[in-house]
Amino acid sequence: MVVHIPGTRALRTLEAAARHRNFTRAAEELGLTPAAVSHQIKEFEEQLGVALFLRTSRSIELTEAGILIVEAVTDALDRIDRAVTRARRIKRGTAVIKLTMDAVFASKWLLPRADRFRRLHPDLELRFDIAAEVRDFGYDDVDIGIRFGGGKYPGVIAERLFDNVIAPVCSPALLQNGPPLNEPRDLLRHTLVHIEWSRQGVTWPNWRMWMAAAGIEDFDDGQCVLFEDTSHVVQAAIEGSAVALTDLTMIAGDLSAGRLVRPFELGIKMPADFAYYLVYPSESASDPRILAFREWVLGEASAEGIAQRTSVL
């Protein structure tokens, strides 16, 4: 995430133009017009007295002088951004922990448990950065994160929280009033939903996989409804319009509250390396705030793992 610092706009324009080798793409990134980018570059060159770019009708390229200047500008912006991030952390003080995570994990898992952390550590305040993308601890004003993936994040410590078990769930109303669900094949009479997700050659378990595990080899997944967001899958199940294949850990609260039920016990585990991980910079490993949150969240995850043990493949 770019830190917007007064007085650096022209430097960022130069850096973006050099990186893209194209004024139009640099303008799109910066929210400027190509003419404004061209004007700022020309002003740079006039003030420095050297040409930074070689312009042709089809492309632009850095001159030898331009390469030297851009390298210095890029290094300076990097140093400024990192210094601003550290300054903001200092301003927050030692009583605040800023957490970054995706919206589903925050709403379905962490927020329902946050009061337990506050009771244990009334002197620490939790603040949330809700983002799907992985944050950079060097540039972004965050202390610790929770991310789903393979657990390989350069420069940070990553600790696995729990296994992800994917299983069918539906509303109690659908179970009572819809077509019977006595055996897995009965699911073919219902609308089936799941998320479509793949990364690094790993695919999130889908209905075709679950049906194969249940011994149903002739399943046609052409009628399944696919979503990109887990929250939409869960909501469809809660509203009673579908049977959802979803992560049991993320809906533990819905199960305990009776908003969802499990028609079948069979679940599928994600591949071993893929899970939710607690991630934080290695240099923060001895920070008392990080230690406090780490101990608490690993304890909660351990308890969750015990509570969610099921028949899995």
Output the CA angle 187-192-196, nearest 5 degrees: 140
Q: What structural domains and CATH numbers belong to the chain?
A: 9-90 (1.10.10.10), 93-163+273-307 (3.40.190.10), 165-269 (3.40.190.10)
> Mean pLDDT by 10-residue block, N- to C-terminus, for the chain (313 residues)?
68 90 90 91 90 85 91 84 71 80 91 94 92 80 89 87 92 92 94 87 87 92 88 93 93 93 93 87 89 95 61 38
Q: Three-state DSSP class for 127?
A: strand
CB 229 within 8 A of CB 197: no
Helices (H), the chain: 9-20, 23-30, 34-48, 64-92, 103-105, 114-120, 172-177, 207-213, 230-238, 252-256, 288-307
Query: pTM for the complete prediction?
Result: 0.67
At 4 the pLDDT is: 63
At 151 the pLDDT is: 84
Among the listed residues 200, 172, 174, 196, the one whose alpha carbon sits nearest the alpha carbon of residue 187: 174
Helix axes of 23-30 and 34-48: crossing angle, nearest 10 degrees: 110
Encoding tokens for residue 104? 């589903």
Burial status of residue 223 (CB atoms within 10 A of its CB: 0-12, 13-18, 19 or more): exposed
